[in-house]
Amino acid sequence: MGKGITFDAGGISIKPAANMDEMKYDMCGAASVLGTLRAIAELGVDRPVIGLIPACENLPSGQANKPGDVVTSMSGQTIEILNTDAEGRLVLCDALTYAERFKPEAVIDIATLTGACVVALGHVNTGLFSKDDELAEGLLTAGRTANDTAWRMPLDDAYQEQLRSNFADMANIGGPPAGSVTAACFLSRFTGKYRWAHLDIAGTAWRSGKDKGASGRPVPLLVQFLMDQA
């Protein structure tokens, strides 16, 4: 499952103009799903794999979500939107609920989700979040084999407290501390019916400056993982 924000201006919580052109890469999670499906088809990997892509743009408009709005997710849980630039988790949470109908053995979501993950891990390792040790180790091993490495980050329940809202079941952001962790904690609230892992590729999906362009990560990691499972 890949985050497919085809352009992310931040919505009403608009981003600074500098480097905003790179926000066309906010669909790299979705692109990695398409790339992985094509690769495993060409390689003949004998395993059922379903790809989900929640796609939209995040732009300011008269109909845009506003900070302070409360919305109801597909799961029925309510969300207070404190920052409209934390939009990826809002499309992913419904896709995670939608995935339940397939009765999956496991779900992996891939998203250029947080600048905080770039602060934590730079552009070397993808951030990996999961409470399933076997699934996490399988992804880490595949990453090492494919030279497309990830680093496992914490997902302790204590971080969930930062998502407390006075008006809804949760807020869509948890403040500056551990921003990539609270984003993963938010997603985890929609994954109770299957094994789940989250890959935050905000630091690894594309390059800036003179080398600007998509990197193709984490397609090698995902393909190797599926080959290992098959």
Domain spans, the chain = 4-220
Phi-psi region of 183 (alpha: psi -120 to 50; beta: other; left: phi over 0): alpha
| Mean pLDDT on 176-191 | 98
Q: Give exposure, 75-102, as e/b (b: 16+ Cβ within 10 Å).
A: beeebbbbbbbbbbbbbbbebbbebbee
Query: Which is catalytic among the residues 3, 38, 47, 89?
Result: 89
89 catalytic? Reply is yes
The alpha-helical segments, DSSP class H, found in 109-218 are 115-121, 133-145, 179-188
Give the CATH H-level superfamily of domain 4-220. Answer: Zn peptidases (3.40.630.10)
Q: How far is CA 94 from CA 22, 128, 187, in A?
A: 25, 20, 10
* pLDDT of amino acid 17: 96
**Average pLDDT of the chain to the nearest whole number:** 97
For residue 172, the SS3 value is coil
15 is catalytic: yes
DSSP class of 25: G
Judged against a pLDDT cut of 90, whether residue 39 lies above it is answered with yes
CA–CA separation, 83 vs 152, rounded Å?
A: 26
SS (H, E, C) 86-119: CCHHHHHHHHHHHHHHHCCCEEEEEECCCHHHHH
Write down the catalytic residue from 15, 131, 189, 207.
15
Quickly count helices (H) and strands (E) in the chain. Answer: 6, 11
Q: What is the pLDDT of residues 25-34, one digit of tens each?
A: 999 999 999 9
Which residue carries 């497309």 as its tokens? 148
Instruction: Look up residue 78 and give its two tokens.
Output: 């309510």
At 93-143, the pLDDT tens digits run 999 999 999 999 999 999 999 999 999 999 999 999 999 999 999 999 999
Q: Specify the pLDDT at position 110.
A: 98
Q: What is the pLDDT of residue 106?
A: 98
Q: Is the pLDDT of residue 230 over 90?
A: no
